[in-house]
Structure 1
Amino acid sequence: MVIYDFTVQTIQGVEESLQQYKGKVLLIVNVASKCGFTPQYKGLQALYEEYKEEGLTVLGFPCNQFMAQEPGTEEEIASFCELNYGVTFPMFAKIDVNGENAHPLYRYLSEQAPGLLGSQAIKWNFTKFLIDRNGTVLKRYAPQVSPEDLRADIEKALRT
């Protein structure tokens, strides 16, 4: 199984295969609108704008599993992201990232790149996964790692 085997639902409700991102470097992030890390949307959008022509795509997956910090509907989430942070990178329908109802994509990401002490659980909003052009999960980043701090790893992934 590879990252391209998964289908996800866009924030507009359309089923979409990740196959369309084959050959791109992906930064997959579970996001939330009412979190202390929410300002990272600005940094994620900046990375997307800076590197999209070279092949980077940021994929945002809203999640309400952490202290109910993403309570809105998909429409409200999309509006919030656009109005407050000018988000133009692809956003997807709200999902669970942990537990029995975790989206299969996040189960896969967690298996491929466990967190601290080998834990597969996503600990909080804005956990980030960097995927290379071949669909290999390169690295997992903790929520407190700012998007700006990913620049060197993204540039390396874009060059290979």
Structure 2
Amino acid sequence: MSDPFIGEIRIFAFNFAPKNWAFCNGRLLPINQNQALFALLGTVYGGDGRTTFALPDLRDRVPFSMGNGSAGSLALGQAGGEPAHTVSANEMPQHSHTLYGRASLANTGDPTGALLGAKGRFGRDMLGVADGKTLAPNSVSTVGGSQSHENRQPFLALNFAIALTGIFPSQN
């Protein structure tokens, strides 16, 4: 493995952080023992900036490029998204529901499994409803349970680790 840049993040398929690396788990580190890494990260990921600073926390997170893009303007260290989501009425596409009926006279008083039937003559009673009339609120049932659903893309759990030592990167 070549010498990493201090602060470089790599993905590892094993269950430990190599020597001089630390998992990207948001852990607080003492500044006085990690001055070079603190010089690069500062308090972007947390810490008090006097005695501690935090490593990036990539647990349950997908790395995302900072800057301006289709997701908007993202600052370094900014987190977003949600692991579960409950769809609201405003997020649903506009749609309608069809109300079915029958042209024959109604023959039951029990609506279970039945369709609306014509009362009287079909041409006069069914089609004579004025525009703008709506069904009574209790004539259409509510469905759904407002339960959240999984909101993550397919994934594979691996370990992200950050180099604690190595080459101090220079800017162009």
Give 1 or 2: higher helix fraction.
Answer: 1
Which bin holds the TM-score, normalised by the shorter protein?
under 0.3
* Larger-Rg structure: 2
* TM-score normalised by the chain length of structure 1: 0.24
